[in-house]
Amino acid sequence: AAGVIQSPRHLIKEKRETATLKCYPIPRHDTVYWYQQGPGQDPQFLISFYEKMQSDKGSIPDRFSAQQFSDYHSELNMSSLELGDSALYFCASSATSGGKGEQFFGPGTRLTVL
Amino acid sequence: AQTVTQSQPEMSVQEAETVTLSCTYDTSESDYYLFWYKQPPSRQMILVIRQEAYKQQNATENRFSVNFQKAAKSFSLKISDSQLGDAAMYFCAYSSGGSQGNLIFGKGTKLSVKP
């Protein structure tokens, strides 16, 4: 079965650089979520999109922005990167209709800021 | 605001034995979902089991079952016949009943399985 795809899997950036993370949800899933997991921490919700519209916002810094495109893939844009942004970034997707609240996670993008 | 608490940072179990991981949550909502996710060393987040709050019957998935006590706001995970591959971090998670509810995670319990 198709899973959530994230790219790149690993990314190394310098402080103050920008980064773009991509997420391709499971086909026919209409909701995409972004989570950030710091070292030794639980995942924290950043932002979500339903049918290409932002549906909820969590602890996402103003330096970050995201959008969902017409093909349902989503991108998380991160600017003015800080050392503290080093983390594992997950994308998850779910199907609103009959989805029963389940979210399926991608493998994550490991971002390292030097 | 909803919160999820996992009071056991680490647990250990002997292979083939049974272990129970604890989770409590706090919410004023009546409609919600509860989940257990497994995160092995690969750091992939794997859905283990889910429970809908309106269902009284405890969910079961093969060797994994939950004890859902709605009044006590408790949601424990029982792993039977533990296997070496069960070693991982386990996160309890909550989401509101709305279909697009984001997940709120507990701090996790690191499970070790001894051969």
In the beta sheet, which residues pair with residue A57?
A47
- B102 at the A interface (CB within 8 A)? yes
- B43 at the A interface (CB within 8 A)? yes
Would strands B109-114 and B104-105 be described as parallel, antiparallel, or unpaired?
A: unpaired
CA B43 distance to own-chain centroid: 16
Find out whether A36 and A61 touch, Cβ atoms under 8 Å. no
Residues of chain A with pLDDT under 70: 97-100
Nearest to A42 among B46, B99, B105 (CB): B105
Percent of chain B having pLDDT more than 90? 87
Are B43 and A108 an interchain contact pair (Cβ–Cβ within 8 Å)? yes
Q: Is a pLDDT exceeding 90 seen at residue B1?
A: no
* Chain B residues with beta carbon closer than 8 angstroms to that of A10: none
Q: Is a pLDDT exceeding 70 seen at residue B99?
A: no
Question: From CA B51, how far away is CA B67, in angstroms rounded?
Answer: 10
- B7 at the A interface (CB within 8 A)? no
What is the structure's pLDDT at B97?
A: 78
Distance in Å, alpha carbon of B81 to nearest chain A alpha carbon:
26
Q: What is the pLDDT of residues A90-114, one digit of tens each?
A: 999 998 765 667 899 999 999 999 9
What is the structure's pLDDT at A100?
A: 67
Q: Taking residues B47-51, what's their average pLDDT?
A: 95
What is the structure's pLDDT at B30?
A: 87
In the beta sheet, which residues pair with residue B114?
B14
* The residue to which tokens 């650089």 are assigned: A17
What is the rounded average pLDDT for all residues in chain B? 94
Structure tokens, B21: 């991981």
